[in-house]
Structure 1
Amino acid sequence: MRNLGRSFTFLWSSTALSSLADGMLKVGAPLLAVTLTRSPTEVSLVGAAATLPWLLLALPAGAIADRADRRRIIVLANTARAGLLAGAAALAALGLLNLWLMLVALLLACVAEVFADTSAQSVLPMTVSPDHLTTANGRVVGAQTIGNEFAGAPLAGLLVMLLPAAVFGGPALLYGAAGLLLLGMRGRFRPVPATARGSMGADIAESLRYLWSHRFLRTLAFTAGTLNLASAAYFAVFVLWVVGDGSRMGLEPSGYGLMMTAMAAGAVAGSLVSERVTRLAGEGRTLIGMWLTNSLLYLVPVLLPTGWLLFPTAVLWGATSALSNVLVISTRQRLIPPELLGRVNSAYRLIGMGGMPVGAALGGVVGESAGLPAVFLGAMGLCLISIAFLWRVVRHQISVPLTSDPLVPGTSRSR
């Protein structure tokens, strides 16, 4: 990483540690919930608690990221997460942690996550040159994937059976270390010009106007939002399909963790080849192809609920997700002006991720009333409809690199 600079190395290292903590929580929290209840509605509340802060706080987090030192925001957010989860670990060790206390701890930790992740995406372009954004984002996505699934997922699966308190205690230590690493970054990480001259409401309104007037980014945001809503519904109850004696696959918690590891293997591969694939196929065609493949794979565990097929499916889920994530993040960072990056990123992610708690809750309700296959098939259908909409809107530009056609008002291609 020498060619990307010292500051990026510290940012990447911090991201790797916080991603490992994310992975432990991502897998450990639903597995703990399954030990407390088999109700699809109650289990789905874990996914809702993890994503609800994005719906409520994405816009304020973006406005703050464009006013304050972005590195400092990440440090404070990681410190807050460390303290909250240390408290949850203490309750678990004392045998006082129930489902509802766990949900509160997870919700508050994910409030801090909104501020940390928003500032992290906005600070990265301040550490590398525009020519290196795709490479840097590929490495960041790779680190996130390794932490989230490769290491965090199987570790969480083991800890749930051996030492449940460590599902929260381990992430608490990792978030604290991730915050300390950022102190090694050198440079200025406050946006220039800073936007503190106006009110926060005016800053947020400006970001919404910019996103709404940018035809491509607006369309991409709504498509991503629909895909994430469907994905949240699918995976909020997927653990019930896979884990336990009453499930269709009957895997142990450790098997679920290994499935996430398989997903990570695919994601790492996808992030490493993202630049090469997009050069060959074009960013537009690659994005549509990855989203379409990812959505069609939702059907596999429903029609063929066998463990041996679940793992290669997870590999493909990971590869297609990572490739599309690298493309979308790099495109936003190139198209959005630096002084607006935090706010417009947050406006985009409000649309892109704000529906996830709704999707998670909807998955629980539908699963309770109509059965889990109805959730899975409905999620796939919704994804296919949204991808078809994106293709219809941008099909004339989809054969060229997304970043070569800003599609801003006043240009010849803006329609």
Structure 2
Amino acid sequence: MTDRPFRWLLTASGLSNTADGIVVVAMPLLAITLTRSPLLVSLVSAAATLPWLLLSLHAGALADRHDRRRILALTTWTRVTVLTALAAAAWLGTLPLPALLAGALLLGAGEVFADTSAQSVVPMTVARERLGDANGKLVAAQTIGNNFLGGPAAGLLTGLGAAAAFGAPALLYAAAGIALLGMRGRFRVEEPSTRPLHHDIAEGLRHLWSHRVLRDLALLSGVLNFANSAYFAVFVLWVVGEESRVGLTPGRYGLLMVALAFGAVAGSLLTDRVARKAGQVRTLVVVDLAGGVLLLVPALVPTPAAIGLTAVLLGAAGATANVLRVSLRQRLIPGHLLGRVNSAIRLIGMGSTPLGAAAGGALATAAGLPAVFAAASVLCVLAVTLTCRSVTTRSVAEAESAADTTVQPAPA
């Protein structure tokens, strides 16, 4: 198996995730220029992640039927179109909050199809024993793009205006679309199903629910994402602006993304080595617990230095957990079911984020920002503690052994 398709996938991922990083940071920064309401600001994050609830199962079923590279390309060029329209509206001075929310919703829909196909296509580009290393490189590239490059760029571009903040990522997505042309070959399962789509979706859900390890890890991801979404949906109000507790400028807020990226890149590149020595389950439990506890630091020590150090540690913990979870899923799920089961897991994990964002805004409005931070931390620690009772080194080893014997059935 040649590395050429993976190299082009890695290149496209780096470019598109740099665009993602700009959009993710720019959206709330632009939102707070239109309103200081915690609830309304949180709706931007909710709109961006709502498509995971609505479209993820269909995205997975389509990824198991069609060429995964082509789906990636189509969704990439769709996002180019949406961002170009937003940049034009901003240039003309006609970009109210509802238009910003609509743009976030459409971009989120593109992310659902792109991310589902991207994770499903990785095992088609590298050998099974190299999945950990390949996912580590992808997470590193994604993190560098999202945070190291996209975060700081978003602060600068937002200062230049909304048109620049949307125009720049449109160009990056276009470059990613061109890079995907380099992925020569066929990236479709050998015998795709021809049954009605809802039958395929149901098969993926049944497989997930009957698989104890995958099911419990999926539920854990849902709880962790709910808590972190609630936290970060209102975090910008705690740190940015003269009215905030910390008082950062948008540009300095972007530097927090650099700190986050520094930790995440280090964590993602070291994950495979650390997991081989300490064990993948033990490593996963430790980093998830650490991530939950670290959420308290900005509330307890609201200084730029403390929050910057916390961002480094959170980045390392989050990236390590991400590499371990993705690699484990790719080893445990049969290839012909990878899109559907993966999308069902992402439905639980990512689908909980708009609910968390809305809950964070509501709780912040009712009880204040520190209440959101404390609740998110407690929820994370509690969820990890409960999950590690069933997801053990032994149960994961047994699941991997069973996955090695799985044979793809003939299509119905």
**Aligned residue for 1:301?**
298
Q: CA deviation at 1:201?
A: 0.3
TM-score scaled by length of structure 1: 0.95
8 Å Cα contact 1:283-1:401 kept in structure 2:
no
2:347 is the counterpart of 1:353: no
- Alignment equivalent of 1:158, drawn from 141, 144, 156: 156
Q: Distance in 2 between matches of 1:9 and 1:209?
A: 34
1:44-193 superposed matches below 5 A:
44-193=42-191
Counterpart of 2:191 in 1: which secondary structure? coil
Counterpart-to-counterpart distance in 2, 1:193 and 1:135: 28
* Alignment of 1:375 onto 2:372: yes
Question: Could you tell me which residue of structure 2 aligns to residue 26 of structure 1?
Answer: 24
Offset of residue 149 of structure 1: 0.2
Q: Note closer, same or farther for the CA distance 1:210–1:408 as it changes in structure 2 (3 Å cut).
A: farther
CA distance in 1, matches of 2:164, 2:64: 36
Residues 219 and 94 (structure 1 numbering): CA distance in 2 closer, same or farther, change over 3 Å?
same
Deviation (angstroms), 1:32: 0.7
1:310 aligned partner:
307
Which of 330, 334, 339 aligns to 1:333? It is 330
Number of residue equivalences: 404
Per the normalisation by structure 2, the TM-score is 0.96
Q: Is 1:241 matched with 2:238? A: yes
Q: Which amino acid aligns with 1:363?
A: G
2:307 and 2:283 mapped to 1: Cα distance? 24
Paired letter, 1:47: S
Q: Aligned equivalents of 1:404 and 1:120: distance in 2? A: 27
| 5+ long unaligned stretches in structure 2 | 406-412
Show the counterpart of 1:207.
Answer: 204
Could you tell me whether the CA contact under 8 Å between 1:335 and 1:403 is conserved in 2?
Answer: no
- Check whether the contact 2:331–2:400 (CA below 8 A) recurs between aligned residues: no
Asked if structure 2 preserves the Cα contact closer than 8 Å seen for 1:283 and 1:402, the reply is no
2:359 is matched with which residue? Answer: 362
Aligned-pair CA distance for 1:147: 0.3
How big is the alpha-carbon RMSD for the aligned residues of Structure 1 and Structure 2? 1.5
Distance (whole Å) between structure 1 residues aligned to residue 36 and residue 252 of structure 2? 18
Structure 1 unmatched runs, 5+: none
Contact 1:86 1:172 (8 Å CA) reproduced: yes
Correspondence for 1:278? 275
- Please list, as runs of the form range in 1=range in 2, the aligned pairs for 1:384-399 lying within 5 A after superposition: 384-394=381-391, 397-398=392-393
> Which string of whole-angstrom CA distances, capped at 9 and with x for unpartnered residues, describes residues 231-279 of structure 1?
0000000000000011100000011100011000000000110111101
Match of 1:406 among 386, 400, 403: 400
Give the residue type in structure 2 aligned to 1:138.
G
Q: Does residue 262 in structure 1 map to residue 259 in structure 2?
A: yes
Distance in 2 (alpha carbons) for counterparts of 1:342 and 1:289: 28
